[in-house]
Amino acid sequence: MAIATVNPATGETVETFTPYDAAALEQRLGLATAAFASWRTTGFDERAALLRRAADLLDAERDDLARTMTVEMGKPVAAARAEVAKCAKAMRWYADRAPELLADEHPAEADVADSGAGSVHVRYRPIGVVLAVMPWNFPLWQVVRFAAPALMAGNVGLLKHASNVPRTALALERVLLEAGFPQGCFQTLLIESSAVEGVVRDPRVAAVTLTGSEGAGRSVGSIAGDEVKKSVLELGGSDPFLVMPSADLASAVQWAVTARTQNNGQSCIAAKRFIVHAEVYDAFTTAFTDRMRTLKVGDPLVEETEIGPLATRQGRADLEELVDDAVAAGAVAECGGARPDGLPAELDGGWYYLPTVLTGITPKMRIHHEEAFGPVATVYRVDSLDEAIELANDTPFGLSSNVWTTDAAEQERCARDIEAGGVFFNGMTASHPAFPFGGVKRSGYGRELSGHGIREFCNITTVWRAR
């Protein structure tokens, strides 16, 4: 994919970018290395003041940054503004909390004495230059949730962003520079995917974090492993949304629609498989389908639009293949299952797909096992909680999950037995700076956000002093 801004609402190429050549890349690697040598010695107060200033700049430029994201990848502009606000919130959260999260730890006195030491403490030290390989679907938030903790820990960052969101990537670099971060603390690398391996293998790069597809994760993770470098991977998801008889059905339907269609359905933590108990299956499916059918599809720059285009032409083609495969094998499209008709002429070239509800899914269909990255929901009928949990776990992914039940025993069963990095009861999965985020199985390893996230790229050092 060329490095370019292509408006997915119209298919129009807005701007193209020339990838950095070897000399330009070398310059930026050298600048990052030099920046780390001094940045690592700064104190939390200095780092926090700059990060708070960057948050203020995000707030001041919220409308412009939101429009940039919407034009590049198609999310409804209201959601884009909310994303900018969330990034500013995360920056302030880490500015406030990092001193506590990275404070020295002191083992029990009895263990210190038993070791023969006069004193022992554990210190969190920065690890160095960290490469972030990031996706287009939350083009600002995905980066900030890496960059804010990394910078507060004393690391410096290199960003290889998705090739279709270069303007957003460059905008964040500019914001951090204008906030006062030294040159080299955070840099965007306008490079193609083929150049990533060389950066990961460069001895000046200490670690890598990637959010993206399973294929990209396998590639980058294997390269990092070959170089014996730390990596964190947040990959795909096919999150279950369980609805049991005790659920508040109206609320479950409302949040089911939001959970499936957030970001035009292009979210790794979007609920994708709706597993509904037979006692409430008909009522839930009817109400859910009715609401999905009436969602307003159109220009994402229009405030009233609820569903914009898919971010890429290939993404829509992949989604169509999954739906067509399922329908050919006997699934029923209760609504959607096609491109929309009747859009304004200026949107004819856009990559739109109707919100879709599929029933009658079986394991022989690709969509049962693969992630549907777009506004397509699959609905399953089950007769028991045991069957619901078994079906929830019948996926190679394990990112998050949603469970609608007011039964305490059912909640405990799900929290114990669902294979995922998160279990959300009577609400939809969402990320927050205070809570660890990540998955199991083919959804990746390691954690972002919270104290767990900021410590992923630290040298956890034991400092031992003799008596």
Which residues are catalytically annotated?
234, 268
Q: Name the nearest CA neighbour of 191 among 329, 347, 317, 25.
A: 25
What phi, psi does 208 have (nearest 5°)? -140, 140
CA 332, 336, 337, 338 torsion-angle sign: positive
Rounded Cα–Cα distance for residues 317 and 383 (Å):
35
CB atoms within 10 A of CB 20: 18
The DSSP annotation for 227-288 comes to: TT-EEEEE----EEEEE-TTS-HHHHHHHHHHHHHGGGG--TTSEEEEEEEHHHHHHHHHHH
Q: Which residues, at least 6 apart from 101, have a Cβ–Cβ distance to it below 8 Å?
A: 451, 454, 455
DSSP letter string over 422-446?
--EESS-----TTS-B--EETTEES
Distance CA 139, CA 79 (A): 12
Pairing of strands 129-133, 156-160: parallel
Q: How far apart are CA 232 and CA 130, in angstroms?
A: 11
3-class DSSP state of 113 = helix
